């Protein structure tokens, strides 16, 4: 029996055991607040009334994931695979959700979509965000452009940052240090250091939060055969101020600055090099909200400035600016009809510099006066929650783009919930469309850009079911089928001329996602998720067909928590450029399994938490990315202090 069948067998056995676990949990009387989700409708709705299966990572979850980055945490959720999380800390991140790529995943912070025009795919780099700033994360999979616009094709990852404490003054310190070594290294030298501090509080109607974080990680070469280490060094600072003028009106203002320096090697020849990428981000935002009977009017406005300086044998420099303004009105008709009417405005521009052939100095090749576009999107969404179990979520959006004109998207998401003696049963269906606007680089790059590009189109169909056992267990199964049109690719036009162009072919990705969360006993919790993703050969790069995550969380007592985590990744296809044959060749990366262990202990009247995180306990030898270094067994020690 091969490894894949073994893993699927283990997953099936684990799910079948939930029935027994349900009986064990029936004798427990546990007080637990009903889970509320917001990302699929922009309203606080009970999970049981949502027509989507949403993954929610709470602050309690994050407290038990100390030492992991945002990308590492997301990499353990159903249907999401983030390449680069188990490589050198400076490694670029690739997001794969339901067979899609970075440009099809929309990252939001506090409800504001984040894009990065300095990236070819216009995607946001999660390395710019410190996990210590995060309060919770909601993951909505499927096409969601009706509510969130361009890029929301395979998933929306809504990251909510921490708010101020209700106390006048609160101080939080988090620090960890540990090893950072490959499978071949057994020195266990301290090569990773991360520290953060936050002060926050509330005085009358005014609240404040200021945080600062720093990470330095060394010890690994970017490439597998490298002899020189490549370091990652980041700084994060965040300030959030809020004032409530009355019960009806409040306003929030925030700003952040994030910087990282990432050393890297030559990727084509897989050779050591003194390359470095320096990225600086500055964000400013304003969010006033006016509340009235049964509704509120909200404005989310944010300005983002990103500079990237890539120092290598092909040095380049990018400067990108973006403004996003999202004005919307939410209205609740007696907890039956929930409506959202809004308009989203985006303005993006890019400037880049490179060294022309035969010269030695940087020269501007993309001018911000030319390379810019504006998006104006009116949209509407309505949610109907009946008293007999039927729920409907539907929306429309008209995308108006300054370069390619108008584009219409829509979604319909019915679900039906049946309350039972043990909890509820829910069936759901969804038909939704999405679009991905071409990036500024793809449109305006002087050699390869194409102003005739049309937006990529995605259509997603979902069918699913969810069963809940009254705060004891929740199991869901979803089938998805996603179709891509107008795929933007880097196309050989002949005579060694390459250009971005829309592909006149439709691509399909489909699969299943299974999630189970069960309270076995009052102290023991079992979580497991698995995904099966089938994509066509043209899109099948670094995407595991089968992926499984499982956790056993155990509260030894009120002060000690332990967790054992398992992950299986199936075989994946990767590719490399052969300098001898001058052709791109395929290679298969073998499947692998990882086992991690985490333990934490509260001391000093629960004000101080000590924790240890051991990853890849069995020191599995595998490749995450062809030719690049992969982490082996590592140990991290840390503490969190709240005063």
SS (H, E, C) 519-565: ECCCCEEEEEEEEEEEECCCCCCCCCCEEEEEEEEEECCCCEEEEEE
Beta strands 155-161 and 105-109, pairing class: parallel
- pLDDT digit string (tens) for 54-81? 899 999 999 889 989 999 999 999 999 9
Range of the domain at 588: 3-642
Environment class of 271 (CB within 10 Å of its CB; exposed 0-12, middle 13-18, buried 19+): exposed
Q: In the predicted model, what is the mean pLDDT of the chain?
A: 90
Residue 15 has pLDDT above 80, yes or no: no
Q: pLDDT value at position 459? A: 96
Higher pLDDT, 341 or 36: 341
Number of domains in the chain: 1
The total number of residues shown for the chain amounts to 643
Q: pLDDT value at position 34? A: 64
Q: What is the mean pLDDT of residues 484-499?
A: 87
* Predicted model pTM: 0.91
Q: What is the CATH number of the domain that holds 213?
A: 2.40.170.20
Q: Are 584 and 607 in contact (CB under 8 A)?
A: no
Higher pLDDT, 549 or 116: 549
- pLDDT digit string (tens) for 319-329? 999 999 999 99
Q: How many CB atoms lie within 10 A of CB 311?
A: 16
Quick one: pLDDT band at residue 580, thresholds 50, 70, 90?
A: confident
CA distance 255 to 67: 25
Q: pLDDT value at position 27? A: 32
Tokens, residue 524:
């023991």
Among positive and negative, which fits the CA dihedral 139, 143, 148, 149?
A: positive
């Amino acid at each position: 029996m091969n490894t894949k069948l073994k893993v699927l067998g283990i997953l099936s056995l684990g799910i079948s055991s939930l029935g027994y676990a349900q009986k064990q949990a029936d004798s427990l009387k546990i007080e637990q607040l009903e889970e509320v989700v917001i990302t699929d409708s922009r309203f606080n709705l009970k999970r049981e009334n949502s027509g989507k299966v949403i993954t929610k990572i709470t602050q309690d979850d994050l407290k038990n994931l100390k030492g992991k980055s945002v990308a590492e945490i997301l990499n353990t959720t159903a249907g999401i695979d983030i390449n680069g999380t188990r490589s050198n800390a400076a490694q670029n991140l690739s997001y794969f959700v339901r067979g899609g790529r970075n440009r099809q995943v929309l990252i939001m912070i506090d409800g504001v979509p984040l894009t990065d025009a300095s990236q070819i795919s216009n995607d946001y780099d999660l390395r710019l965000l410190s996990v210590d700033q995060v309060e919770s994360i909601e993951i909505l999979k499927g096409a969601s452009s009706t509510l969130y616009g361009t890029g929301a094709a395979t998933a929306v990852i809504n990251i909510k940052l921490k708010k101020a404490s209700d106390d006048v003054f609160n101080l939080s310190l988090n620090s960890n240090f540990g090893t950072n070594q490959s499978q071949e290294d057994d020195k266990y030298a301290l090569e990773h250091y991360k520290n953060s501090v936050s002060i926050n509080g509330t005085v009358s109607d005014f609240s404040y939060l200021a945080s600062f974080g720093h990470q330095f990680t060394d010890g690994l070469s970017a490439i597998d055969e490298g002899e020189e280490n490549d370091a990652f060094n980041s700084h994060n600072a965040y300030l959030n101020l809020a004032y409530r003028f009355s019960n009806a009106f409040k306003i929030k203002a925030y700003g952040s600055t994030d910087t990282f320096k990432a050393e890297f090697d030559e990727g084509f020849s897989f050779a050591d090099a003194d390359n470095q990428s320096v990225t600086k981000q500055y964000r400013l935002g304003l969010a006033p909200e006016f509340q009235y009977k049964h509704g509120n009017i909200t404005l989310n406005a944010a300005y983002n400035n990103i500079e990237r300086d890539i120092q290598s044998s092909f040095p380049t420099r990018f400067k990108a600016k973006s403004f996003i303004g999202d004005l919307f009105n939410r209205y609740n008709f007696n907890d039956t009809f929930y409506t959202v009417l809004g308009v989203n405005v985006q303005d993006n521009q890019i400037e880049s510099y490179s060294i022309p052939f035969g010269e030695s100095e940087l020269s501007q090749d993309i001018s911000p006066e030319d390379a810019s576009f504006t998006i104006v999107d009116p949209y509407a969404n309505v949610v109907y929650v009946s008293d007999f179990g039927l729920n409907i979520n539907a929306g429309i959006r008209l995308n108006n783009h300054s370069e390619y004109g108008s584009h219409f998207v829509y979604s319909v998401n019915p679900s039906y919930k049946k309350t039972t003696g043990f909890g509820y049963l829910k069936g759901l269906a969804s038909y939704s469309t999405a679009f991905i606007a071409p990036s500024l680089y793809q449109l305006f790059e002087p050699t390869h850009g194409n102003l005739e590009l049309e937006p990529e189109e995605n259509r997603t169909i979902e069918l699913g079911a969810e069963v809940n056992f009254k705060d004891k267990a929740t199991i869901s199964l979803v089938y998805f089928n996603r179709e891509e049109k107008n795929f933007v690719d880097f196309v050989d036009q002949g005579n060694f001329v390459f250009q971005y162009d829309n592909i006149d072919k439709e691509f399909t990705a489909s699969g299943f996602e299974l999630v189970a969360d069960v309270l076995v006993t009052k102290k023991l919790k079992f979580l497991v998720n698995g995904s099966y993703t089938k994509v066509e050969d043209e899109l099948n790069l670094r995407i595991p067909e089968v992926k499984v995550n499982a956790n056993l969380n155990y509260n030894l007592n009120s002060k000690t928590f332990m967790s054992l985590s398992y992950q299986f990744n199936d075989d994946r296809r990767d590719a490399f450029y052969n300098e001898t044959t001058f052709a791109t060749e395929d290679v298969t990366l073998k499947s692998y399994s990882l086992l991690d262990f985490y333990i934490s202990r509260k001391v000093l009247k629960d004000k101080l938490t000590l924790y240890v995180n051991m990853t890849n306990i069995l020191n599995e030898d595998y490749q995450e990315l062809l030719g690049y270094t992969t982490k082996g067994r590592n140990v991290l020690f840390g503490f969190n202090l709240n005063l």
